Amino acid sequence: MSGKLRRLVCNRPSLRLLAKAPLTHTTGLISACFYSTRVVYLEKERAVAIEAVERASRVCEAVFKRLVTDETLTKKDKSPVTVADFSAQAVVNSILEKYFPNDPIVGEEDSKDLLGEEGRVLREKVVELTNTAVNTPMTTEEVLQAIDRGQYAGGSTGRHWTLDPIDGTKGFLRGEQFAVCLALIIDGKVRLGVVGCPNLPYDMSQPEGEKGVLAVAVEEQGAFQRKLNVKDSLETPIFVSIVEDSCNASFCESVEAGHANHGDSAKIAELLGITKQSVRMDSQCKYIAVARGDADIYLRLPVDSKYVEKIWDHAAGNIIIQEAGGQVSDVNGEPLDFSQGRTLSANKGVIAANASIFDTVVEAVKATLSNKF
């Protein structure tokens, strides 16, 4: 039985590991799935991460509804996204502390801007919004402590989480694509990733249809999506596209020009023979779009030689793409190295694509960026 069919048969999270069982027919595999009691790798971590991302996503949506207005956008006021960032990080970190008190966290935020009289107004908003998504109300001190649990330095040994409470700041403010991204790294390698995309259509063929997607992957257990914040939502497997010729592929690119070099992207597209219009969106939602076949290639090209990617911007998306059957590397074709601390200091840029065209894409990128980085 193919690996793909095994994953389709064993699509329940607690049973997926059994898809590797040496059984010769589907009936036996189904029987094993329903009657085995084997413990599944990272089962608890997976469930907790899903809960944390769902609650943080609800906080972000609450912030948008309460604080983002036409005036906010006109004045380019980023205070709502600041509130959402802090509140989402407090929610996720408090949940991780409850279930895994010994696990450190690499997060994007710290509480220094919330301290003292200068931070009072922002602090009060953060505490209020945080408490809309937790079961037991948190004091101001507890919220600040939770936020500051995200200051771990990362590294190559042991286990730690990495969190981006809101990836896609401008997308969030526009009411478009943003994501809450959480990943577990063990001994320098991403083993679990969860991405919540509150505004992403569940089915991209129906862009005005139901929105809200949660994507999840555990190492060697496949990638799945479910409806975000829908109780008992059924998980379904996701797979990258089956495009085998790059001329039939499409890019998924950033909306923001500062996040990519669109000129280099155009040159790469010419080398690959790509003529299809790009799918443009903010945040790690791009990883999810490629992981489920909405687009075929994601490029994050370096904008200068000094810029270094942060691990929280790529960890969760990286494993979801790989578990969906795709490949991810930097612009030199090297795997992303999450063992270097808080940044991907050993890498430049990111390439993600389905396995059939991946090598071709890497060669086109190398040819375009030759001697630049």
Q: Which residues are catalytic?
A: 85, 169
Q: Which amino acid makes up residue 340?
A: Q
- Contact yes or no for 352/365 (Cβ under 8 A): no
Beta-strand ranges (E) seen in the chain are 105-107, 159-167, 179-186, 189-201, 211-218, 223-227, 236-237, 251-253, 279-280, 297-300, 326-329, 350-354
Distances (CA, A) of 134 to 36, 49, 87, 88, 289: 34, 14, 11, 11, 30
Residue 279's φ and ψ, nearest 5 degrees, are: -90, 120
Q: Which amino acid makes up residue 117?
A: E
Cβ neighbours for 365, distance < 8 A, ≥ 6 positions apart: 268, 299, 301, 331, 349, 351
Quote the tokens at residue 370. Answer: 């030759």
Q: Roughly how many angstroms between the first and final C-alpha of the chain, as a whole number?
A: 44
**Within 13 Å and on the Cβ side, how many CA atoms surround 268?**
30
Residue 182's φ and ψ, nearest 5 degrees, are: -135, 135
- Angle value at C-alpha 208, between 202 and 210, nearest 5 degrees: 35
Cα torsion 106, 112, 114, 115 to 10°: value is 140
Q: Output b/e per residue, 331-353; b: 16+ Cβ within 10 A.
A: beeeebbbebebbbeebbbbbbb
Cα torsion 140, 175, 180, 113 to 10°: value is -30
For residues 209 and 305, what is the distance between their CA atoms, to the nearest angstrom?
A: 41
For residues 258 and 251, what is the distance between their CA atoms, to the nearest angstrom?
A: 17
